[in-house]
Amino acid sequence: MFTHVEHGIELPALTRKTTEAGRRYFTPEGNAYPSITTVLGILSKEGIMAWRARVGEEEANKISRQAAGRGTAVHKLAEDYIDNKEDWRGKQMPANLNTFNDLRQVIDGRLDNVWMQEVFLYSDKLKTAGQVDCIAEYDGTLSIIDFKTSRKPKKEEWIEGYFIQACFYAAAFLERTGVAIKQAVILIAVDGHEAQVFKVNTFDYLEHFLSVRKKYKEIYKI
């Protein structure tokens, strides 16, 4: 059983909409901000286009649908499991349960004192918004925790975007609450392998985020 912390922090609900230019979040003040994943999408756009050309549109669409479905399922399993729901397995497919169980072996005994899950965060300073997977203690340190799935093991230099994303969440959380979260943990469930764990200092990637955000604004004027 995971302990859930009574911290007294309430974050406002946001609405969101997918547009031709990517996902937009709308704040209580009426501001429209691009999602962090939309902003970071410019980092991988060329690589994705080259991959789609290499494997063909039909195969690329099939792989993308499967990956999206698995990612959604694993996130839901993680959320329900950490929420201590008795029926956390639900009616998930065995393959998705096996994928989550790789993550489960990591988080059991290392993740506890849960603050929040699947909450919206936005920054008026950074003009960006998103939805963080989990804020909890990992190895005893309050952390931004992000769950990912992958067909193959990742090298650290390949996933800078994940670290930048976690950096944004930490910066937005600090802006909204005054609470600094210095550690980010990226947990990746990999097909046929043990789950990967990457820990970073969130503030190490703030300049990286600002650079990407500036480039995004130059392209999309928002």
For the chain, the domains span 15-220
Q: Two tokens at 180?
A: 């600094």
Q: Which of 17-21, 123-127, 177-181, 208-212 has the lowest mean pLDDT?
A: 17-21
Question: What pTM was computed for the model?
Answer: 0.90
Question: Can you give the pLDDT at residue 12?
Answer: 93
Residue 15: how many other CB atoms lie within 10 Å: 11
Digit-coded pLDDT (tens) for 198-217 = 999 999 999 999 999 999 99
Please tell me which residue, 54 or 2, carries the higher pLDDT value: 2
- What is the pLDDT at residue 7? 94
pLDDT at 121: 98
Three-state SS annotation for 131-176:
EEEEEEEECCEEEEEEEEEECCCCCHHHCHHHHHHHHHHHHHHHHH
Taking alpha carbons only, the member of 19, 200, 213, 50 closest to residue 123 is 213
Of the pLDDT bands very low, low, confident and very high (cuts 50, 70, 90), residue 22 is confident
Average pLDDT across the chain, whole number: 89
Residue 42 in this model has a pLDDT that exceeds 70: yes
- Check residue 82 and give its pLDDT: 98
pLDDT of residue 58: 58
**109 Rama sector, left if φ>0, alpha if ψ -120 to 50, beta otherwise:** left
CB 183 within 8 A of CB 143: yes
In this structure, which CATH number among 3.30.300, 2.60.40, 3.90.320, 3.10.20 belongs to the domain 15-220?
A: 3.90.320
Strand order in the sheet with 111-123: 111-123, 128-138, 141-150, 183-190, 196-201
pLDDT in tens, 88-116: 998 888 989 999 999 999 999 899 999 99
pLDDT of residue 188: 97
pLDDT confidence of 69, banded at 50, 70, 90? low
CA 71 to CA 65: how far, in whole Å?
10
Given a cut of 70, whether residue 60 has pLDDT beyond it is no
Q: What is the pLDDT of residues 145-199, one digit of tens each?
A: 999 999 899 999 999 999 999 999 999 999 999 999 999 999 999 988 999 999 9
Q: How far apart are CA 149 and CA 67, in angstroms?
A: 8
C-beta of residue 121 within 8 angstroms of C-beta of residue 129: yes
Q: How far is CA 56 from the centre of its chain?
A: 28
Task: Pick the range with the lowest mean pLDDT from 6-20, 54-68, 94-108.
Answer: 54-68
Q: Span 34-63, mean pLDDT?
A: 61
Maximum Cα–Cα distance for the chain, whole Å?
51
Share of the chain above pLDDT 70, in %: 88
